[in-house]
Amino acid sequence: MPALKFPKPDLDRIPVAMTVAGSDSGGGAGIQADLRTIAMHRVHGTSAITCITAQNTLGVTSVEAMPPDAVTAQIDAVATDIGIDAAKCGMLLNAEIATAAIERLQAHGVTALVVDPVMVSRTGVVLIDDDAIAALRDRVIPAAAIVTPNRHEAQILTGIDIVDLETMQQAARKVYSLGAKAVLVKGGAMAGPECGVDVWFDGDRLEVLRTETIDTPHTHGTGCTLSAAIAATIARDGGDALAAVRRAKTYVTNALKHSLAIGMGQGPVGHFYPLVDPQLPRP
């Protein structure tokens, strides 16, 4: 199977990336992190908000779902006027929102779709119910160009107990069999030498991706940031999907180096690091 590639964008127009995700009142993850990430990639960001959370660096205190027709109305409004070169889906919260959102994205011909299947936090806390998990597995993931589960999410999707690099690779192949064109199993929750190691599989290439490990407690929003960076890179540059993932991982690594020690808990990554450290290359 040939490597997953995306068409080169029209250089005469501004690239657009959409995020379909929840709102984080603390600004560390979700829509807020996605739009900052997209902007730092010099891409215009648009959004469809799926839920509103009350949260800060200490945790989430409230979650309110948007009506599915309000989510689809946001997608329609953007797609019919501004257009969508690439999109990412983050927190879809329930089966109704997940199904409605993916149907509208497909109806508008969005194929450059990065799915961050938000089901479980990095610490292993389940965030959505069984119906929503089934909708992600059966409806959303088959429509994805790239799906980026963390260790716990990959375990739920595959039934594989992921304990080492070999089982990460097995899980990547099995998630791929669900219908996505490419899979990135993230190892941020792994222990030992596999911590921070990701596994890529696109039906052809099985790659182990290693980057510098950053020792910081302030990692809130890393999954959102990575998937948004992948979508923004594809919207801006097109080309090889794995190359876009590698560039996005570099962006996240640099953002972790400049993570923000705000609040009394776990702060977010520093999305705007190129503004404060111009010696680092722009994403």
Catalytic positions, please? 186, 219, 221-224
* Contact status, residue 205 vs residue 1, Cβ threshold 8 Å: no
* Nearest alpha-carbon partner for 82 in 30, 42, 32, 45: 45
85 alpha-carbon distance from chain centroid:
16
Task: Enumerate the β-bridge partners of residue 182.
Answer: 146
The count of residues in the chain is 283
* Residue 240 burial class via C-beta count within 10 angstroms: exposed 0-12, middle 13-18, buried 19 and up: middle
Kindly compute the dihedral angle of the four CA atoms of residues 6, 10, 11, 17, in this order, to the nearest 10 degrees. -60
* Contact status, residue 67 vs residue 74, Cβ threshold 8 Å: no
